[in-house]
Chains A and B, each alone.
Chain A
Amino acid sequence: MLAPEIKIRALRASVLTALIGYRNGSAHMSSSLSCVEALTAAFDFKRMFPKTEIILSKGHASAAQYAAMSQTGFLEANQLINFGKEESNFSIHLSQNKYIPLSTGSLGHGLSFGVGIGISNLINKLNYKTIVLIGDGESNEGSVWEAASIAGRLHLNDLILLVDYNQVQAAGTYQEISGNQNLTSKFQSFGWIVKKISAHDPASIYSELQINESEPKVIILDSQENPSLEFMQNSVEWHYRNPTEAEIVKMINTLNAKQFALDILELFKCEKL
């Protein structure tokens, strides 16, 4: 798969995520925009390797996952018109469907579920990859480390954990709440391979997913540097609020994605921003 194509799809998924937040609200903007490109890379990978399972453990980033799925052929973007609305199947915390194995929302469950799928593949001698995405704040949950410990001990080498290292939690920054925790050495001590990649480099994330490893691998996604999202960087407030018109316009202009945004607005039957 060509890197430029992945980048374009990830960029479009980002714009779509922001538009969902702007139009429908309740979309956990910063939590979604920090991992939407990684999710797009993951679903691009699933497009090539359909037996791949993707588990979004931080279910509050559902807008990002739905946007990523819509740009990689796993759902139609027009289905997202009712995201977060009454009776919609597309809720502000992720809900099961054909390509979503697990409904999520409360944190700390995705990795153990992924370990279970990994053990199944181990027994059946299948080299399918299982990709789990958690938040950095989510790693406060003890169940994450129970699962990480077991995955390391069983050498589940087809298990890949993406950690959205956006350094913002629900009530403060990662540093304020979690301290100076070294995720790299923690995972290494559990027997994991640790890689660090920019969360905004979907082509590199895709390449990393392709590599066959001898141990489970964690990819720490640094989402700090993103020029298009400068206005919401390091802001706890953005865990809850939605973009204004001016902010959306600025983002679209920075990303040079005006035509795509107009197409989406037409799809969503919005007359104007």
Chain B
Amino acid sequence: MRKALADFLVQAATEDEKIIFLTADLGFQVFDEFKSSFPQRYYNVGIAEAAMVGIAAGLSYSGFKPIIYSIASFLDSRAFEQFRFFCGYNNMKIVAIGAGGGLTYSMSGPTHHALDDIGLALLIPNLLVFSPAGPRELTQTLYKSIEESGSSYIQIGKFGEKDVYFSDNLEKNNTVMGIISTGVVSGYISENLQEYEFANKVSHLHVNQIHPLDEEVLVNFLNSHSKIILVEEQIPSSGIYNPILRLINEKKLGVEIERLGPRAEFIHKNRSLDSNREFYNYNWSEIQLRITNFLNQNKKI
């Protein structure tokens, strides 16, 4: 996904002389082409996330279209008040990219785990919040964010993420169980679902835009299933779980939701991404087990 971001930056800066890129000293060699092509519009501000948001706001006020970059575990947590102050209260337009979403940097430990960045972004009024699954979707999201009048926070992965179709099996009317997911974990689910023997019994909706939600699509999906498994790589108070529960309550929907994902605790052991997904019971084996159990109980196989 970082390659898609780097390619987008070069393309967008070629098309629009107001595009300017700031990084808080991250992305070694990733943005070299942009840096050499547009040296006046590339600023490494140093390890200074708070100042980066303020500087971007000043550039935005002056007519530039700033895109800022750090890793997801640092960007909006380190500079939360700056996001609230500049992007929220003062309505300055910034596109913020948090790389290494969820447990992408699993082995680097809790300081590098981004399990609350989405929730923090959701607290800022007027901030659009995205969590694309793969590079193609990221590029579309970036173009959309540039066009929007307000600021955006986009959580991305690192490299090798897979795009998913907007949804898997939605066209099939006979699906009884639904999976909703967001972010890089969506590609993981989609990839495994395609190999799954009962795939035609399960539909999968990937949610890229977390705020504001596409309520029509979600209500339709939620109404079409009696049971939903929701998978996210955020702690429960941070991701799409609460926004979707709110939607269910507001629309008085009768669907049952089971959430899978990290618990609200720090991981003190050194573990790979796969091990952590297994530890927190949201690896594919666990998801598959829950689907199979549900289908067996409902005798729909």
Chain A residues close to B by CB (< 8 Å)? 96, 101-103, 106, 108-109, 111-121, 123, 142-143, 146-147, 149-150, 153
Docked Cα-Cα span, A128 to B22, in Å, equals 22
Residue of B46, B53, B56, B58 with most partner-chain A CB within 10 A: B58
Q: Are B61 and A117 in contact (CB under 8 A)?
A: yes
Q: Are B55 and A116 in contact (CB under 8 A)?
A: yes
Q: Chain B's nearest CB lies how many Å from the CB of A253?
A: 41
Q: Are A119 and B51 in contact (CB under 8 A)?
A: no
Q: Chain B's nearest CB lies how many Å from the CB of A183?
A: 19
Q: Are B51 and A112 in contact (CB under 8 A)?
A: yes
Residue on A nearest B55 in the bound complex, by CB: A116
Cβ of A146: which chain B residues have Cβ within 8 Å of it?
45-46, 48, 50-51
Q: What range describes how many residues of B lie at the interface?
A: 20 to 34
Q: Are B58 and A143 in contact (CB under 8 A)?
A: no
Chain B residues close to A by CB (< 8 Å)? 20, 40-41, 43, 45-46, 48, 50-64, 66, 81-82, 85-86, 89-90
Docked Cα-Cα span, A148 to B41, in Å, equals 20
- Residue from A102, A117, A143 in contact with B50 in the complex, judged by beta carbons closer than 8 Å: A143
Residue on B nearest A102 in the bound complex, by CB: B90
Cβ of A123: which chain B residues have Cβ within 8 Å of it?
20, 40-41, 64
Q: Are B50 and A142 in contact (CB under 8 A)?
A: yes
Q: Are A114 and B58 in contact (CB under 8 A)?
A: yes
Cβ of A106: which chain B residues have Cβ within 8 Å of it?
81, 85
Docked Cα-Cα span, A113 to B60, in Å, equals 10
- Residue from A96, A111, A120 in contact with B62 in the complex, judged by beta carbons closer than 8 Å: A120
Residue on B nearest A112 in the bound complex, by CB: B54
Residue on A nearest B58 in the bound complex, by CB: A116
Residue on A nearest B54 in the bound complex, by CB: A112
Q: Are A119 and B58 in contact (CB under 8 A)?
A: yes
Residue on B nearest A150 in the bound complex, by CB: B45
Cβ of A113: which chain B residues have Cβ within 8 Å of it?
54-55, 57-58, 61, 86
Residue of B40, B48, B55, B57 with most partner-chain A CB within 10 A: B55
Residue on B nearest A141 in the bound complex, by CB: B50
Q: Are A116 and B61 in contact (CB under 8 A)?
A: yes
Cβ of B63: which chain A residues have Cβ within 8 Å of it?
120
By Cβ-Cβ distance, the 4 closest A-B pairs, closest first, are A116-B58, A112-B54, A120-B62, A146-B51
Q: Are B54 and A119 in contact (CB under 8 A)?
A: no
